[in-house]
Amino acid sequence: MAKLAKQDTVIPATTQKQLEQDSLVEDMPRELKVPMTPLPIRADTMERQWKTNDLESLDIGVKKHRKPENIADTIAYYAVKSARKPTDIFFRNKYLHRSVMLEVVAAVPGMVGALIRHIKSLQGMRHDGGWIGHLLHEAENERMHLMTWMEVGKPVLWERALIATVQTGFFAIFSILYMFSPRTAHRVVGYLEEEAVTSYTHFIKEIDAGRIENVKAPDIAIAYWNLEETATLRDVVLAVRADEALHRDTNHHFSDRIRAGRESLFEDLEHTENKPRIKY
């Protein structure tokens, strides 16, 4: 009696893919199952739920401006001013799309600065002075701004292409600048953030004038800035503007520290006496 040929079981492609997905979940390290929730840039953000009047009462220095003190500062200032003109012409009063462009560019400096300082710390086999964490936090904060605006305004394909092109060019130029003159690079960012504060102030005025609908704030913004459930687009713009003002002050300060030859933050950090002062 002839033996029946044993047939291999054929698993449908969709089932095979599901098995692979299940295996990935089972093999996932425990540390990866804990969400790395982005933290707001201001330390007091999560201490309480923020209302509109709280955001409006923040003293951020809307018209604060750092006057150029030398040739490098002057070049940085006018370079930023020159870059703003085509943006004004192209976007005009389309502040949602302007904000997307702004944040795509603004998220670059922190990451570039952190990367270069990280490599230099490794090459020099010495601590960084406490900058890397702050720069990475800045980059993450700007990325969260972008994620928020993508929930509100939906750039079309050609706008996305333009934004990606501008970002690529800025990344290359800023990387070279930071390698050769980090002091000037941080000054450029300080002036960029001054312009960002101005742009978001105009954004708020457009909302108040009724030319931009004050829609409900997206969930990602409510969670990130610890806003009320009834928060609106205007509240989000106020929160983003406050972040940009902090980046403005931080980057001007970083530039000043480099110029003064006092880059390390460790000696000026708040210190608890019962804990060792660790440099990293």
Render pLDDT for 160-208 as a digit per residue (tens, 0 to 9): 888 889 899 999 999 999 999 999 999 999 999 999 999 999 999 999 9
The answer on pLDDT for 92 being more than 80 is no
pLDDT confidence bin for 270, thresholds 50/70/90: low
The answer on pLDDT for 146 being more than 90 is yes
**Four-CA torsion 209, 233, 91, 252, nearest 10 degrees:** 110
Instruction: Give the Cα separation of 78 and 84 in Å (integer).
Output: 10
Q: pTM score, two decimals?
A: 0.87
Asked if 211 contacts 26 with a C-beta cutoff of 8 angstroms, the reply is: no
Asked if 121 contacts 127 with a C-beta cutoff of 8 angstroms, the reply is: yes
Q: Residue 8: its pLDDT value, please?
A: 56
Radius of gyration (C-alpha) of the chain in whole angstroms: 24
Instruction: Give the Cα separation of 148 and 102 in Å (integer).
Output: 13
Q: Residue 1: its pLDDT value, please?
A: 47
Q: Residue 12: its pLDDT value, please?
A: 63
Q: Which residue has the higher pLDDT, 183 or 41?
A: 183
Q: Distances from the Cα of 106 to the Cαs of 77, 257, 263, in angstroms?
A: 16, 21, 23
**Neighbour tally for 160: CB within 10 Å:** 13
